Amino acid sequence: MKDLVFNLIENEKVRQSEGLELIPSENYVSADVLSAMGSILTNKYSEGYPSFEGVPGWEEKKITNEILPNYRYYGGQPNVDRIERLAIDRACRLFHADHANVQPHSGAQANNAVYFAWLEPGDTVLGMSLPAGGHLTHGAPVTLSAHIYNFVAYGVTKDGDIDYDDLEKKALENEPKIILVGYSAFMKIPDFERVVEIRDRLVKKTGKEVMLMADMAHVAGLIAGGVHPNPLDFGFNVMTTTTHKTLRGPRGGLILSKGNVASPLKRPEKTLDNIPILIDRAVFPGTQGGPLEHIVAAKAVSFGEALKPEFKDYAKRIVENAKALADELKKLGFVLQGDGTENHLILVNVKESFGFDGKIYEKALDMIGLTLNANSLPIDKGGAFRPSGVRLGTPAITTRGLGIKEMKELASWMKTVADICVKAKTEENLTKFDKELTTLREEVKTLATSFPVPGI
């Protein structure tokens, strides 16, 4: 008999097929990405890195068992080396980087490795505060990195944009070794040029090198698709990302950088030019053990997909859908942080719109098959457990093929559920509205099942 786990996987397939995923950090991977993730590459240990120095003419399609030069601590690498090299080359092409480390197990691991590569304990990082939209790994006190380094936070303005004046003031006052631009709940396009200018003024003041780091975990797919500026094109030194959000690859992390690419075996001097080597050493052996080569293979497949012209169209449609959904929501009385969106993500102030908090709304929408998450707003009396907002986005539904027409329908369901929450007042009372919620659930299911989930 099959393990119970497989029954639960079957259940999850039904949940994903019959509902619509609006969490902006989620997506549906292709059947090819799934197949690489579920492959026998999981059997292989490959601590270290591939190195194709002195192998001119190495090319993607060449399949041989010839052992290529590497810095690995285990034998048997002819295929794994080539797979990881493919992932690295494709990532560099996608993001205009000199170097890519494709081994981080997650976005958090990627960020921690960059900190470890460049900082000494007690050094300062200037990043966006968590309530303003930054990520936990940008200095939340509950994290390991916040115990090691000194994080200073900048915020956002009333209209939801980065407060660049605050950023500049804090940079000049605190003299950080890293200025970090990145976020999990932010709907504007950052002004990378302005951040570079601020960095230059800081360097002029101190005469010391300052790393510019961008955590583009949410928008990497938009960058790859050419609908969002690329921080590496503006003089940023490092860009980290997850591979599973808009980029539509397997769950994992990725670090891209500019600088010299050379052997990670020799300990390099801590200079910005040496960042790629410092990062390789910081990922392995600095913060991780053996890479997950089945995931690296799936990353390579997804980067290959993102290099195709169809991906540009996908990225464009994500943003079009997000803007259309934001417009429809506004027409129906929803108050949006930043008054709309410039990317894939919408932050709704449900408290100001309808008087209830994000938690009851998240639960009620879940009951009809629409999944999103309650989220704090920049100034939020409700705190992390009863936040006043919800965060939603369009990467996953755009993968399934939903377009502008369906955004209208989505907004209308969201308004009907908001009206139910106004009447219910508490999560417990939602069951009193079972009939209405069940009818809506059937409507969502009918639409969702007409847009199949890839790989199911």
Ligand X SMILES: Cc1ncc(COP(=O)(O)O)c(C=O)c1O
Q: If we measure between CA atoms, which residue out of 232, 256, 242 comes closest to residue 108? A: 242
Q: Which stretch binds ligand X (CB under 6 A): 15-23, 116-124, 211-219, 225-233?
A: 211-219
Place of tokens 């417009």: 327
Q: Do 218 and 244 contact (CB within 8 A), yes or no?
A: no
Measured in Å, how far apart are the chain's first and last C-alpha atoms? Answer: 22
Q: Least distance from C-beta 24 to ligand X, angstroms?
A: 9
Considering the complex, state which of residue 145 and residue 321 has its C-beta at the smaller distance from ligand X: 145
Residue 21 forms beta bridges with which residues?
371
DSSP-assigned states of every residue in 397-429: HHHTT--HHHHHHHHHHHHHHHHHHHHH-SSGG
Give residues 96-125 in contact with ligand X (rule: CB under 6 A). 106-108, 111
DSSP-assigned states of every residue in 118-172: H--TT-EEEEE-TTTT--GGGT-TTSHHHHHSEEEEE-B-TTSSB-HHHHHHHHH
Does the annotation mark 183 as catalytic? no
Tell me the C-alpha distance between 25 and 244, whole Å.
Answer: 8
Q: Least distance from C-beta 85 to ligand X, angstroms?
A: 23
Q: Is 188 in the site for ligand X (CB under 6 A)?
A: no
Number of residues that bind ligand X (CB under 6 A): 15
Site string for ligand X, 121-160 (x = CB under 6 A): --------------x-x-----------------------
Does the annotation mark 242 as catalytic? yes
Q: Is 218 in the site for ligand X (CB under 6 A)?
A: yes
Considering the complex, state which of residue 215 and residue 380 has its C-beta at the smaller distance from ligand X: 215
Among 26, 215, 328, 406, binds ligand X (CB under 6 A): 215
Q: Is 242 in the site for ligand X (CB under 6 A)?
A: yes
Tell me the C-alpha distance between 197 and 397, whole Å.
Answer: 37
Does the annotation mark 251 as catalytic? yes
The catalytically annotated residue of 18, 32, 47, 352 is 47
Q: Do 370 and 413 contact (CB within 8 A), yes or no?
A: yes
- φ, ψ (nearest 5 deg) of residue 252: 175, -175
Structure tokens at 436: 């209405």
Considering the complex, state which of residue 87 and residue 437 has its C-beta at the smaller distance from ligand X: 87
Among 25, 112, 343, 353, binds ligand X (CB under 6 A): 25
Q: Least distance from C-beta 126 to ligand X, angstroms?
A: 16
Considering the complex, state which of residue 181 and residue 198 has its C-beta at the smaller distance from ligand X: 181
The catalytically annotated residue of 251, 270, 312, 316 is 251
Does the annotation mark 405 as catalytic? no
Number of H helices, E strands in the chain: 16, 14
Does the annotation mark 45 as catalytic? yes
Q: Least distance from C-beta 374 to ligand X, angstroms?
A: 15
Q: If we measure between CA atoms, which residue out of 223, 137, 188 comes closest to residue 345? A: 188
Q: Which stretch binds ligand X (CB under 6 A): 140-148, 179-187, 273-281, 426-434?
A: 179-187
Among 24, 139, 182, 268, binds ligand X (CB under 6 A): 182
Residue 123: how many other CB atoms lie within 10 Å:
15
Q: Least distance from C-beta 149 to ligand X, angstroms?
A: 16
Q: Least distance from C-beta 289 to ligand X, angstroms?
A: 17
Considering the complex, state which of residue 50 and residue 160 has its C-beta at the smaller distance from ligand X: 160
- DSSP 8-state secondary structure symbol assigned to residue 264: T
Q: Is 184 in the site for ligand X (CB under 6 A)?
A: yes
- DSSP 8-state secondary structure symbol assigned to residue 290: S
- φ, ψ (nearest 5 deg) of residue 176: -70, 155
Q: Do 43 and 294 contact (CB within 8 A), yes or no?
A: no
Q: Which residue is nearest to ligand X (CB)?
A: 107
Among 102, 217, 345, 346, binds ligand X (CB under 6 A): 217
The catalytically annotated residue of 18, 45, 316, 445 is 45
Which residues of this chain interact with ligand X, rule CB under 6 A?
25, 106-108, 111, 135, 137, 182-184, 215, 217-218, 242, 253
What are the residue numbers of the active site? Answer: 45, 47, 215, 242, 245, 251
